[in-house]
Amino acid sequence: MSPFRYVAGFLLYLVIRLGMLILAPMNHRAMRIFSNIGAWVMHSVPYLRNLCIKNIHAAFPEMPPEKVRETAWKSLQNLALTICEIVWIMQHPEQFEKFVDISPCRGAVEGAIEATRVGRGAILLTPHLGNWEFASRVLAYTYKLPIGVVVKSARLPFLDRILSSSRRCGNVRIIYAKGAARAMKNALDEKLIVGILIDQNTKVRNGGVFVDFMGLKIPVSRAPAVLARANGGNRYIAIGAVIRDTPDTCKVYSRELPKPAAEYETDEELIQDITDITADFIRMAPEQYCWLYHRFQYIPPDTPEEVRKRYPDYAKVPGRSFFRRTAGNHARETS
């Protein structure tokens, strides 16, 4: 890591610590108003603002330009508020149940509890929608259930400590994404519910598969399908999201797969159904989705020219190393 990135990361760490002190005495409404400062800063950076606009236009090509810009601004507002809530809830855990309505997801939670009780195992998935970091709290804090959460570790240890601390509530076990396959299986065998953020780019060589998302092909991890179809194909899967229904309250929505995991013929078929449900949740509140990500970065080589035009200008057709491991990239990944 370059000295510049290390110093920048340490300054970010100090800003977060300062933010914790500032946010501590606030109620949720005051914190929401305060978070608009962060949203304004992000929106003022052309690269960040334009990335959101490009992604929203790719996902919703029929959306009028003014609506796209409004959605981009609100998405950054939601991101800033989510970051503040992550810090704030560490100091006010008793407030969680006051502004998060869990009643819409009781069916999925009960299904996960029963699957875990009888040894089937349960996998709960969520996209970067609403406040995605609160999804694990619904199980660990409200229902007091043991859960293993798959996360990417921050490159800087002092930042990783803050993030991990915010996620470790109740019976939460952190499962780091690197080498997560075995850890997820072990967690399921130990009767933990496994939580995964599903909407992240995964190279085919690392277990990714291209599926349709908002009319465009994107690569996502096939891990949920591999885990679900293992052990006789009877693991329980549900997709959920913590979506804001008012400025200061959220509801937890959930949906099960349309059929049991054992009835899917391929991983791709199962992952496509997961992605379809994820897209339905995003359509409920596109302004609460995190569009600040190269979600449409990779274009399948066989994509027709007219479809390629829908991808943002940062998208590209990946090279051979995207699809299969070579000696060079294997050495880089293991170093």
pLDDT at residue 55 tops 90: yes
Closest Cα partner for 28 from 76, 87, 73? Answer: 87
- The mean pLDDT value of the chain amounts to 87
Q: Are 151 and 175 in contact (CB under 8 A)?
A: yes
Region of poorest pLDDT, from 47-61, 148-162, 222-236, 293-307: 148-162
Q: Are 197 and 127 in contact (CB under 8 A)?
A: yes
CA distance 194 to 149: 6
Q: Are 127 and 199 in contact (CB under 8 A)?
A: yes
Mark 107-124 as b/e (b = at least 16 C-beta within 10 Å). Answer: ebbebbbebbeeebbbbb
Q: Are 247 and 32 in contact (CB under 8 A)?
A: yes
pLDDT of residue 333: 46
CA distance 134 to 127: 12
- The domain ranges of the chain are 3-334
pLDDT at residue 3 tops 70: yes
Question: Tokens 């940062």 — which residue?
Answer: 314
Q: How confident is the model at residue 335 (pLDDT cuts 50, 70, 90)?
A: very low
DSSP SS3 for 99: helix
Share of the chain above pLDDT 70, in %: 89
Q: How confident is the model at residue 192 (pLDDT cuts 50, 70, 90)?
A: confident
**122-126 β-sheet, strand order:** 100-101, 249-256, 236-246, 122-126, 193-197, 147-151, 172-176
Q: What letter represents residue 235's amino acid?
A: R
Read off the DSSP letter of residue 250: E
pLDDT at residue 327 tops 50: no
pLDDT of residue 326: 60
pLDDT of residue 231: 64
Q: Are 177 and 152 in contact (CB under 8 A)?
A: yes
pLDDT of residue 44: 95
Region of poorest pLDDT, from 36-45, 75-84, 96-105: 96-105
Beta strand pairing status for 208-213 and 216-221?
antiparallel
CA distance 174 to 149: 5
236: left (phi over 0), alpha (psi -120 to 50) or beta: beta
DSSP H or E segment with residue 297: none
pLDDT of residue 170: 63
Cα angle value 208/224/61 (rounded, 5°): 60
Q: CA-CA distances (angstroms) from residue 171 to 7, 55, 251, 261, 277?
A: 34, 36, 22, 26, 27
Cα angle value 19/24/28 (rounded, 5°): 100
What would the pLDDT profile of 144-190 be if each residue is shown by its tens digit?
A: 888 888 877 666 666 667 666 666 666 788 887 777 888 888 888 88
pLDDT of residue 272: 97
pLDDT at residue 332 tops 50: no
Cα angle value 197/201/207 (rounded, 5°): 90
Taking residues 257-282, report their average pLDDT: 94
**Both structure tokens of 134:** 């609160």
pLDDT of residue 273: 97
What would the pLDDT profile of 8-44 be if each residue is shown by its tens digit?
A: 677 777 877 787 888 888 999 999 999 999 899 999 9
More confident residue, 153 or 281: 281
Q: How many CB atoms lie within 10 A of CB 21?
A: 10
pLDDT of residue 240: 93
Considering the entire predicted model, what is its pTM? 0.89
CA distance 11 to 8: 5
